[in-house]
């Protein structure tokens, strides 16, 4: 039997079960945490630790098998398709949130304000409602005023309009993060070029710079959130605008965190172990695809959430 026809089948593993359990606990803990449960943070961190440990073990096993020569061309093609479908699922994930933002702004708000043939909708659901964006008033605030369970800021403030805050472009945190993330996409590409040219020093240098840029992005996103919460009153409880803003930017930040870890692991593999060559570098290529996808999503966020939001 030729090598092309043979196919390495790994032994049975409990790792998928533990990965599912870790992911479930992470999401369950996050949901309870956001709803004020005291045990929510503990469940979240336990689940996140379990999931991270499973991924570390699983990926280490795959790397070991590959280095031992167990992966033939057919199996490696399955890795390529697997990463491609994973990124496609991520595209659909963010498409749902962008679709929700579009639906709220262009359909739900006009209908609720009585636009078109929806006058009865306005009278029954929210009398006197006027469509505006950002909408940071919750139904509870509209009905109960100061007695509402959730109180919003004294005035509606959007984190999307540069002119509102009189901030120079180069000091506007979303713009700074855009420059950082687009620059990191360039450095990841330069690292790939260095690897293809068998220049490991250039590969390590550009890849290390990419990791630093990813960390810088996360630092400034934390600064942005602190500014939104402390100075602008923009929180998760600030009506539908706060919810969509933090859901979109928060999930993207989680993906940047994951992508930064992926690039860091690739960097350490190259520096400490001498892994990757010009014709054997799919681990790095998969991480670079994911990173470029994260960059594209941020461009969409910058346009539709910050500029047009």
Rg of the chain taking only CA atoms, in angstroms: 23
Over residues 188-228, the pLDDT tens digits come to 999 999 999 999 999 999 999 999 999 999 999 999 998 88
Give the DSSP letter of residue 284: H
CA 97: distance to chain centroid?
A: 12
Tell me the residue length of the chain: 309
Give the count of beta carbons closer than 10 Å to the beta carbon of residue 7: 12
Phi-psi region of 277 (alpha: psi -120 to 50; beta: other; left: phi over 0): beta
More confident: 293 or 172 = 293
Which residues have a Cβ under 8 Å from the Cβ of 38 and sit 6 or more positions away?
A: none
Residue 229 tokens read as 């919460």
1.10.150.240, 3.30.450.20, 1.10.287.70, 1.10.760.10: CATH of 11-70: 1.10.287.70
The reported pTM is: 0.86
Given a cut of 90, whether residue 74 has pLDDT beyond it is no
Given a cut of 70, whether residue 171 has pLDDT beyond it is no
Give the count of beta carbons closer than 10 Å to the beta carbon of residue 294: 25
What sign has the CA pseudo-torsion 173, 156, 138, 39? positive
**What pLDDT shows up at residue 6?**
65
Give the DSSP letter of residue 243: H
CATH for 73-108+133-138+163-307 is: 1.20.120.80
- Domain residue limits, the chain: 11-70, 73-108+133-138+163-307
Residue 236 tokens read as 């998760």
State the DSSP H helix or E strand holding residue 85, giving kind and residue range, or none if neither: helix 73-103
Over residues 120-149, the pLDDT tens digits come to 888 888 888 888 888 877 776 776 666 555
Section 164-168 average pLDDT: 58
């Amino acid at each position: 039997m030729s090598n092309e026809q043979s196919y390495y089948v790994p032994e049975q593993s409990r790792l998928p079960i533990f990965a599912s359990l870790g992911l479930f606990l992470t999401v369950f803990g996050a949901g309870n945490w956001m709803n004020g449960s005291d045990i929510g943070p503990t469940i979240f961190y336990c689940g996140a630790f379990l999931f991270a440990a499973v991924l570390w073990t699983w990926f280490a096993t795959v790397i070991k098998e590959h280095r031992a020569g167990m992966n033939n061309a057919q199996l490696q093609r399955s890795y390529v398709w697997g990463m491609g479908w994973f990124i496609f699922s991520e595209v659909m994930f963010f498409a749902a949130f962008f679709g929700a933002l579009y639906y709220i702004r262009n359909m739900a708000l006009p209908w609720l304000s009585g636009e078109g043939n929806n006058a009865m909708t306005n009278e029954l659901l929210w009398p006197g409602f006027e469509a505006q964006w950002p909408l940071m008033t919750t139904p509870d605030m509209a009905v109960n005023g100061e007695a509402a369970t959730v109180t919003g800021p004294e005035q509606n403030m959007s984190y999307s309009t540069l002119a509102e805050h009189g901030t120079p472009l180069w000091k506007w945190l979303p713009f700074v993060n855009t420059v950082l993330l687009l620059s990191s996409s360039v450095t990841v590409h330069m690292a790939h070029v260095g690897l293809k040219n068998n220049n490991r020093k250039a590969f390590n240098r550009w890849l290390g710079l990419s990791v630093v840029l990813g960390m810088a992005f996360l630092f400034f996103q934390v600064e942005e959130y602190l500014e939104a919460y402390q100075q602008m009153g923009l929180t998760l409880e600030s009506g539908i605008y706060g919810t969509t803003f933090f859901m979109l930017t928060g999930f993207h930040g989680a993906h940047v965190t994951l992508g930064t870890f992926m690039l860091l692991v690739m960097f350490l593999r190259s520096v400490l172990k001498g892994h990757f060559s010009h014709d054997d570098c799919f681990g790095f290529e998969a991480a670079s695809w994911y990173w470029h996808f994260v960059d594209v999503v941020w461009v969409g966020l910058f346009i539709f959430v910050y500029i047009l939001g």
